[in-house]
Structure 1
Amino acid sequence: MGEITQYLTFTLDAEVFALDIGKVREVLDFSSVTKVPQMPEFMRGVINLRGNVVPVVDMRLKFGMAVTEKTVNTCIIIVEVAIDGEITILGAMADSVQEVLDLEPEQIEPAPRIGTKLNTDFILGMGKRDERFIMILDVDKVFSMADLAAVYGEQPSMAVNG
């Protein structure tokens, strides 16, 4: 009798991931990303989103996969991330967006505990749909303070001219 939650599903390689739709602002077609020197490898750069500088993270690289190759389906999911009570807007680069999916609590299993070596804190759970598992991400935990410090902390002002 729990509440149904809506998730936006997207692919990285052959895996399906999901984000709580409440954290997703919009989905953009992949456009040019301005590279910023000395960023972590998974930070592809920044985009200008209606006059705001938005960092773009290659989710494949963030999860230790091969770099995302641009295709007609490549997109940037604009998400709101809460870190230390502050809302930060980030772009998450994905191979493709699939659908908005309704999942009931009983369709979600707890994240697997894979020993101490792998950090699975950012996985809220495993959704089941048609015998496939969908990794439901906690977007607030996918990005750490260190990740954002690399973007905002030691960088000089990153004004976008345009």
Structure 2
Amino acid sequence: MGISGNGMLELIAFTLGDQEFCIEVMSVREIRSWTPATILPHSPGHVRGVINLRGVVLPVMDLAERLGLAPAEPSEASVIIVTQIGNQIIGLLVDLVSDIFTVSAEDVHAAPDVSKTMDRDQIRGMIPMDERMICFLQLDALFGTMESEAA
């Protein structure tokens, strides 16, 4: 689970609409401002297209749409979180990066089983913080099948 020797997880939180999500900091390579992407014909709906990242063609995914939420409406505040998922570099379009924080692995609660269509592999858990709930995403479960989608 990417837990340090002391059982702590370092996470980066971001918003999609009015929801808050987080991923492990170790999977983040950089955060960059929104750049319009070049559309790829016949790509899945959550694929925004590609951008040039210092000579590398970087696919950009609409994370909100991939999660079944309303598609993102990019603005000047939107950012692309450049992540490493397995051997792939993928950009995730999010509304705003809100926080970097550390929690104990014990503070991650199992997501409730509320729907037969919900893929529980995509959610590592829920983290209660103050008056809010942050959904901890499992990126490799969300995008691990990209090679087969692109074929």
TM-score, length of structure 2 as denominator length = 0.91
CA distance in 1, matches of 2:62, 2:131: 28
Partner of 1:149: 148
Per the alignment, in what secondary structure is the counterpart of residue 109 of structure 1? coil
Unpaired runs of 5+ in structure 1? 154-162
Deviations along 1:103-139, one digit per CA (max 9) or x if unpaired, are 1123211122224222121101111110311000111
Partner of 1:159: none
Structure number with larger C-alpha Rg? 1
Question: For residues 12-161 of structure 1, what are the structure 2 equivalents within 5 Å?
Answer: 12-82=16-86, 87-145=87-145, 147-151=146-150, 153=151
CA distance in 2, matches of 1:95, 1:69: 8
Deviations along 1:55-91, one digit per CA (max 9) or x if unpaired, are 1000111112222112221010001112xxxx11100
- Give the number of equivalent residue pairs: 147
Unpaired runs of 5+ in structure 2? none
CA distance in 2, matches of 1:68, 1:37: 19
TM-score, length of structure 1 as denominator length = 0.85
CA distance in 1, matches of 2:6, 2:127: 15
CA distance in 2, matches of 1:67, 1:115: 21
After superposition, the Cα gap between the structure-2 partners of 1:92 and 1:48, relative to the gap in structure 1 and judged at 3 Å, is same
% of aligned pairs identical? 31
